[in-house]
Structure 1
Amino acid sequence: MTRSNLVGGEMLNWSDLHPADSRPAVSGPAAAAVLAAALRPGDTVLIAGPHGHGLYVDVVAVAESVDILVRSAPDAEELAESLGNAKTQVYCGSLDRFATDETYDLIVALDGLERVVGPDTESLPWADALAKLTDRLAPGGRLLLGATNSFSVNRMIQPDITAALPRDEDWGRAVADSSPAGLAPLTTALRAVGVEVEGSGSEREAEPAPIAAGAGVSGAGSAGELQQGRLSARIHGVYPSLVEAEVLVGDNQQLTAAAAARVVAERNSGPTLMDPYRVVMDAARAGLLVELAPAWYVVVGVEVPVEPATGELVEERLLHALRVDDQLALRREIVAYVEWLRTAPETGAPDNVIVDGTSYRLFGDASGGTVEEQLARFARRALESGARQPWPAGGSAHDLTARLASMVGITLAPETTPELIRPMGSAEQLATVARLADELAHASARAILFEGTVSGIRRSVPYRLGHAMLNPARVVRRRLKRVLRRR
């Protein structure tokens, strides 16, 4: 006896909640935050596709009624058993077989639309799947939709070696069944099904005021109201992936980028094509933090809380000074930062401290450590990122730390065994090799020029005359020295 309702297209020997050879279900703080902002007491909710168990629990705790649609039969049975109550119904099968006249206040599909169907469905274009969901929205309803980005910062960080090794879930599907490739095509596809995208990401002119978690948008004229038959939406970037939704970005402010860069770097600690942290930070500097996000959330009818844009990281100021060879600015930033370190009750490294005007505050947890240790951390990170420096390439972290420390009157002990740090990314390593080769070529050219100058001097008449005049005196002096030593 099954506890779930079979609608057709079920996958009997398959699990998206406990995958053996596929990606896991959606989870993470960003997913929970978006859901908390969208969910209201008394809502009727449809959750389509696999989501982390905690997300189901959060919805069931607040909503009036919850319908869950998953394609996996074992998953459906597990959810029916763990969440089963009078207000929860679990359906097993494909979205194209899910026939109901029910409408919902909130539809949650943060996993995207690719896993709402199984191999029994020959083709379900992405736009058609989205239309099936939006058709079930009640007036003023809210929609949370996830979509993967096929060309994101991940393509610049890691070579896609696994693409040649398809997983069990990568059966042949029509190209149109996948989410649109790129933010602009995604926006176009949304508009084609009646979802009008407002300014989002780098296009946003003004950030909305943060709202309390769990609060919704209500009243006429809200983002989710039907406007001449259309829905209004915003698009947010998700890092580091759709299924590990750690950080949500809605613009290109530096602090949001730093949070995203950290989680990306944590998951790419091995060999990389480029330094993961710098790729994300550089994308933000170029205004592409949302466009190059690994995934997106399309949010209809919800204003998601965002962190206000205040200040910037000390590390970014220091790297900018290095990048433009502004040693005066570098010295000024180092002096001000170290003065704060010496008086602050809790200290942090340059990548963990925000400067706003002349005030400093921590960005995350305090790291502790001496001034020398904080400067050494920055030196290592600068070398690992392959950042440009106004000094000869090939120096050690100790050399760079000593230069920075000297700006505040600190003298480091000599290094016994120099530790040379390679840039993390292959691209930065090649750039460093190119810079070393260029410096070596210039040094070689100067040596050749010097040798030519010396050779020319030796062939000159004044040099020869001087040499001829001084040579006899030298011979006499050497002979006198030998005679005196014998005595």
Structure 2
Amino acid sequence: MTDPDHTSVRPVPGEMRPWSDLDGPIGPFGGAAALRLLEDVLPRGGRWLIAGPHADAVLTLAQERSESLTVLIRAASDGETTSTRFPTGLDIAIGALDGLSPEDGAFDVVLAADGLDRVLTPDSADLAWPERLDLLRSLANDGATIVVGLGNEFALATLLDARVARDRHGDEEWRPIHSDTERPCSLGQFVDALAERGLTPSSTWTTFGPQAQPGLIASADAAGSARPDRFLANAATAAVRATRSPLLALPDEALSTAARAGALPTVADGFLAIIGGDAASTAHAPTEAYGSTGDESAWTARREGNGADATWLLSDATGAEQRVPGGRTVESELRELAEREDVPGFRAYAQRLGEWTRTLPDHVGPLTLDSLVRDGNTFVDTHVGGPAHEESARDMAVAAAWFRFQDRLLAQHRRHPWPPWVVGSELVGIWSSMAGVATDADSLESARVLADSLAGPTPDIVDARTALADRDEAAKQLFEANGHIFGLERTIGFRDKQLLTREKRIRKLHKDLQKVEKIRNHPAYRTLRKAAKVREPRKFAAAVKKKAGTRLRGR
């Protein structure tokens, strides 16, 4: 039994030293969304076992609800860290799952939400995933509440992972069963593997986002009925974009296609199965989605109605409720009009949007078209939680929303009817004027800064499609530049020939000038020049004769 006055630390066979799952690249399982789900499904009282690395918040929840709590951690350093953080009330077993003895069993609640990938060590037997599940099952009482997680090897983030296999499953992660052929690779296989061992789930969930800190947890039924450009599909896309792995492409288009096919659970990042659980999880109008916001607070959502256009009722961390229509976002409808090159339709839609914004106060919070949903003749902002932003002038917020729309449109390489030389502030000015918002250079610059602050961190994505498109564009520009260079070289050649011809003419003129100068310097030329001035030869001859006579007489 757990001593409530202090935390005990005991080794069991298979401890790993040196090693750390808490400080590793994946980290412990937790996050606001996961914690909110566990609060709803886990019962109170009884003996608890937590197998694998879990966040401190999960341990705190388990400590508050359990009568005794055993935590199985395979890394010695993680066990020491946990004992420091929780000095009382825990029984920490450092080692592998197969190192626990049968005497440690008979648990009323078994929590392995992190999955069964990080519960064995190199000293453990070579156990396949079903054998690990058998070990976990043997430690639980009949009728116990069991929470089991599974990472999806067919997840979209895994398929788009830019790293080679040896880097995805290297020493820093040490996942020895990544090539286990008996490991379930779909939600159906996961449920069947549990049912074969008498562990029929009372509810199944899909997780989206980083493996250990999912940003969205949705029921399998809700994820299967999600459709593109609607609330749940957009929340899944936002969660997957927060993945910590480098991706070959943005996941938006692939997730949208999966949602259109009703296959969103197939490409989820992971699965959670609840066996047993609190009655609240199956109450009338159950919660069907748990999400986390940028400020690490959680929200919950439940559907009102069925079908793709079902309305969602959201509750944030404060308990405030918000109704989210089941329609598509403003961004998706404007993007469709742009791809169809329907400029009149785009202008009319922007005008309706502008009329709605003019009903807002003079100073508003951030407006993002990817969170606005049209509801009849009005629009509803479905943004929930997130980091706090200062209010800004309404017109600036509208212009910033158009900047963000343009950034997302270009990032996804979508078609649109506007020429490339107007893309940027000029195009945002055009769209803003469609919405009835007057802009100038200064206001557009401020809106650009506001839009950048709303964009958040840039995901580590080496977009292969973008790289190939950039390569083709670079090849096109190189071809055009070579043609331009050829034209310039040809023009220069013509100019060289013209200059050569002029040079020859100048040289000939120089020679002719030299000849003229030589003649002008000859005495005969000077005599002839003077003779050319004689207009009356007889008078000139008489004057010469007179002059000559005078000189002769003077001698």
- After TM superposition, the score normalised by the length of structure 2 is 0.62
Asked whether the equivalents of residues 54 and 114 of structure 2 are also in contact (C-alpha less than 8 Å), the reply is yes
The aligned counterpart of 2:166 is: 163
The aligned counterpart of 1:91 is: 93
Give yes or no for the alignment of 1:287 onto 2:292.
Answer: no
The aligned counterpart of 1:259 is: 235
Equivalent of residue 333 in structure 1, options 338, 342, 349 = 349
Give yes or no for the alignment of 1:145 onto 2:148.
Answer: yes
Give the whole-Å Cα distance in 1 for the aligned partners of 2:156 and 2:139: 34
| Further displaced range: 140-149 or 28-37 | 140-149
Q: Deviation per CA, 1:439-486: give whole Å up to 9, x if none.
A: xxxxxxxxxxxxxxxxxxxxxxxxxxxxxxxxxxxxxxxxxxxxxxxx
What residue identity is the alignment partner of 2:271?
W
Give the whole-Å Cα distance in 2 for the aligned partners of 1:56 and 1:106: 13
The aligned counterpart of 1:100 is: 102
The structural deviation recorded for 1:285 is: 3.6
Asked whether the equivalents of residues 209 and 242 of structure 2 are also in contact (C-alpha less than 8 Å), the reply is no
What residue identity is the alignment partner of 2:71?
I
- Which residues of 2 match residues 244-393 of structure 1 at below 5 A? 244-250=213-219, 251=223, 252=226, 254-267=230-243, 273-302=248-277, 303=281, 305-306=288-289, 307=301, 308=303, 309=312, 310-311=325-326, 312-345=328-361, 346-347=364-365, 348-362=367-381, 363-364=383-384, 368=392, 369-392=396-419
What residue identity is the alignment partner of 2:356?
W
CA 1:160–1:330 in structure 2 vs 1: closer, same or farther (change >3 Å)? same
Give the whole-Å Cα distance in 2 for the aligned partners of 1:122 and 1:387: 52
The aligned counterpart of 2:465 is: 427
CA 1:62–1:191 in structure 2 vs 1: closer, same or farther (change >3 Å)? closer
Give the whole-Å Cα distance in 2 for the aligned partners of 1:133 and 1:290: 25
CA 1:262–1:334 in structure 2 vs 1: closer, same or farther (change >3 Å)? same
| Further displaced range: 27-36 or 404-413 | 404-413
Partner SS state of residue 404, structure 2? helix
The two structures, once aligned, show a CA RMSD in angstroms of 3.8
Give yes or no for the alignment of 1:64 onto 2:67.
Answer: yes
CA 1:405–1:7 in structure 2 vs 1: closer, same or farther (change >3 Å)? same
CA 1:354–1:68 in structure 2 vs 1: closer, same or farther (change >3 Å)? same
The structural deviation recorded for 1:56 is: 0.6
What residue identity is the alignment partner of 2:68?
S
CA 1:434–1:357 in structure 2 vs 1: closer, same or farther (change >3 Å)? farther
The structure whose RCO (Cα within 8 Å, separation 6+) is larger is 1
CA 1:357–1:127 in structure 2 vs 1: closer, same or farther (change >3 Å)? farther
Number of aligned residue pairs: give it. Answer: 398
User: 5+ residue gaps in structure 2?
Assistant: 1-6, 282-286, 290-300, 304-311, 313-324, 449-460, 477-555
What residue identity is the alignment partner of 1:26?
F
Give yes or no for the alignment of 1:232 onto 2:201.
Answer: yes
What residue identity is the alignment partner of 2:235?
A
The aligned counterpart of 2:12 is: 7
Give the whole-Å Cα distance in 1 for the aligned partners of 2:35 and 2:42: 10
- Which residues of 2 match residues 407-446 of structure 1 at below 5 A? 407-410=434-437, 425-428=463-466, 430=468
- After TM superposition, the score normalised by the length of structure 1 is 0.70
The structural deviation recorded for 1:184 is: 3.9
CA 1:318–1:179 in structure 2 vs 1: closer, same or farther (change >3 Å)? farther
What residue identity is the alignment partner of 1:240?
G
The aligned counterpart of 2:500 is: none
CA 1:285–1:237 in structure 2 vs 1: closer, same or farther (change >3 Å)? same
Give yes or no for the alignment of 1:44 onto 2:47.
Answer: yes
The structural deviation recorded for 1:430 is: 4.3
The structural deviation recorded for 1:49 is: 0.6
What residue identity is the alignment partner of 1:356?
D
The structural deviation recorded for 1:116 is: 0.8
The aligned counterpart of 1:26 is: 29
Q: Deviation per CA, 1:66-103: give whole Å up to 9, x if none.
A: 121111223233334543545x3222221122123533
The structural deviation recorded for 1:354 is: 2.9
Asked whether the equivalents of residues 144 and 298 of structure 1 are also in contact (C-alpha less than 8 Å), the reply is yes
Give yes or no for the alignment of 1:190 onto 2:194.
Answer: yes
Asked whether the equivalents of residues 22 and 28 of structure 2 are also in contact (C-alpha less than 8 Å), the reply is yes
Asked whether the equivalents of residues 183 and 291 of structure 1 are also in contact (C-alpha less than 8 Å), the reply is yes
Give the whole-Å Cα distance in 2 for the aligned partners of 1:70 and 1:84: 16
Give the whole-Å Cα distance in 2 for the aligned partners of 1:17 and 1:31: 17
CA 1:388–1:434 in structure 2 vs 1: closer, same or farther (change >3 Å)? farther
Partner SS state of residue 355, structure 2? helix
Q: What fraction of aligned residue pairs are identical, expressed as a percent?
A: 25
Partner SS state of residue 358, structure 2? helix
The aligned counterpart of 1:464 is: none
CA 1:297–1:172 in structure 2 vs 1: closer, same or farther (change >3 Å)? closer
Higher-Rg structure is 2
Asked whether the equivalents of residues 149 and 295 of structure 1 are also in contact (C-alpha less than 8 Å), the reply is yes
Give the whole-Å Cα distance in 2 for the aligned partners of 1:232 and 1:372: 49
